[in-house]
Amino acid sequence: MDHTVLFDQTLTQLGFELVPVYNCFDVGYDPVQGWPLKLPDIDFTDRTLLLLHFQDFVTPTATGCVELDRVEQKYGSHANQVLVTFWSHGLDRVYRGPVNLIEFSSHNLQTIQGAIQTQTQWQSWFDQPRTQSWQCLNGRMCLHRRRVVDQLLKFQGGTVSYGNEIALPEWSYQTYRGTENHNNFVRLAPLYAKTAVNIVTETQYNARPGIVTEKTLQAMIAGQIPIVIGHPGIVQDCCELGFDMFEDLVDCSYDWLPNDCRAEMAIQLNQDLIQGQIDLEPYQNRLQAQRRFVLEQYSEILCGRFRQAASQLGAI
């Protein structure tokens, strides 16, 4: 189900006069000022519910985020008639204002649906044995990814890319513009299929709350052991979202380390695993179960969580 249909059907059935803005963030992100927001002027009635969908990461503050503060300022006494749906896991634990919040990643829903729709194009690659120990694919170049790449360049037996600086021979980063994530997964399926461990350098690094993106989900769909490096506590976030992070195999003690060492320690603590020195055969059933969970169950779990949270809005 498309998330716009889910939101519209669920909220109108609850009796709200829904005013939706399905892509609240405009282009032109600034790391201090945050995203430009599409905030309409509204004539509120008793049952008006303004829905603002935060379709990307937010800009954290000590009490929530820049974008939520601006929503609250805009709507004042009617802020409690605003519902923000957001991607950044745990935002509702740090914001205590009047704006209503429901966590929902339309991006991850689209990632899963795209993988399902293209499954006949990629699944045959995964019948072959894993012949490569590790991969770490980095399109957008940034500091924490550079630090991880520098560590991995010391290792053999894997594939690393870093923008156009270290390009994949088959698909250089300059060919990615305009390519949907599921189509990119299809063309990289031979690499994913032969590789046992995926060192995932996620989008955000320095602060939480943060997002979990297609980079992590695609490792799970590919049946790979994930070593996820991102914002502080991202491994814990993945566990809370329902994913198996193989903590009995991956040393995840790096997850809450300071920003200045977390990226390097993730690699150093898991050198044996990355270099193929641990037998992964005992984990194959769990890897397959994780793939089935993502492809067959997780979309409905996302939708079910939204419906349950929305049912609590009746008091508005």
Q: How many CB atoms lie within 10 A of CB 260?
A: 8
More confident call, 178 vs 254: 254
The answer to whether residue 309 is domain-embedded is no
Q: pTM to 2 decimals? A: 0.94
The answer to whether residue 303 is domain-embedded is no
Token pair of 204 as six digits: 């955000």
Q: Which residues have C-beta within 8 Å of that of residue 154, sequence separation ≥ 6?
A: none
Query: Which of the four pLDDT bands, split at 50, 70 and 90, describes residue 174?
Result: low
Beta strands in the chain, from DSSP E residues, in sequence order: 17-21, 48-53, 60-61, 64-65, 82-86, 100-103, 132-136, 158-160, 195-201, 225-229
pLDDT one-digit tens code per residue, 125-145: 999 899 999 999 999 999 999
The answer to whether residue 288 is domain-embedded is yes
138/95 same-domain check: no
130/94 same-domain check: no
HSE-CB of 41 using CA atoms within 13 angstroms: 0
Domains of the chain: total: 2
Which residue, of 44, 71, 104, is where some domain finishes? 104
180/282 same-domain check: yes
251/158 same-domain check: yes
69/152 same-domain check: no
Mean pLDDT of the 84-95 span: 96
Q: Which DSSP category does 130 fall into?
A: P
- pLDDT at position 186: 93
99/27 same-domain check: yes
120/240 same-domain check: yes
225/280 same-domain check: yes
Burial of 132 per CB tally in 10 Å (0-12, 13-18, 19+): middle
Which residue, of 78, 104, 130, is where some domain finishes? 104
CA 310 from centroid of its chain's CA atoms: 22
For residue 106, give the nearest of 1, 227, 248, 255 by alpha carbon: 1
Q: Which DSSP category does 1 fall into?
A: -
Mean pLDDT of the 11-36 span: 96
118/253 same-domain check: yes
Whichever domain contains 229, its CATH number is 3.40.50
- Rounded CA-CA distance 308/305 in Å is 5
| Beta bridge mates, 103 | 86
Token pair of 148 as six digits: 């991880």
pLDDT one-digit tens code per residue, 262-283: 999 999 999 999 999 999 999 9
Indicate the residue type of 137. Answer: L
| Beta bridge mates, 199 | 227
* Alpha helices for the chain (secondary structure H): 3-13, 66-75, 91-94, 106-117, 119-122, 143-152, 181-194, 214-221, 234-241, 262-268, 271-274, 284-292, 298-310
Q: State whether residue 175 is helix, strand or coil.
A: helix
Contact 241, 278 (CB under 8 A): no
96/115 same-domain check: no
The answer to whether residue 227 is domain-embedded is yes
| Beta bridge mates, 82 | 50
> What domain range includes position 27?
3-104
Integer CA distances (angstroms), 159 to 154, 183, 220, 277, in order: 12, 20, 18, 17
For residue 24, give the nearest of 14, 34, 32, 11 by alpha carbon: 34
pLDDT one-digit tens code per residue, 227-273: 999 999 999 999 999 999 999 999 999 999 999 999 999 999 999 99
36/130 same-domain check: no
Which residue, of 104, 134, 159, is where some domain finishes? 104
15-24, 130-139, 177-186: segment of lowest average pLDDT: 177-186
249/171 same-domain check: yes
Q: Indicate the average pLDDT of the chain.
A: 95
The answer to whether residue 99 is domain-embedded is yes
Contact 225, 246 (CB under 8 A): yes
Dump the DSSP string for 260-277: TTHHHHHHHTTHHHHTT-
- pLDDT at position 177: 63
- Rounded CA-CA distance 103/109 in Å is 12
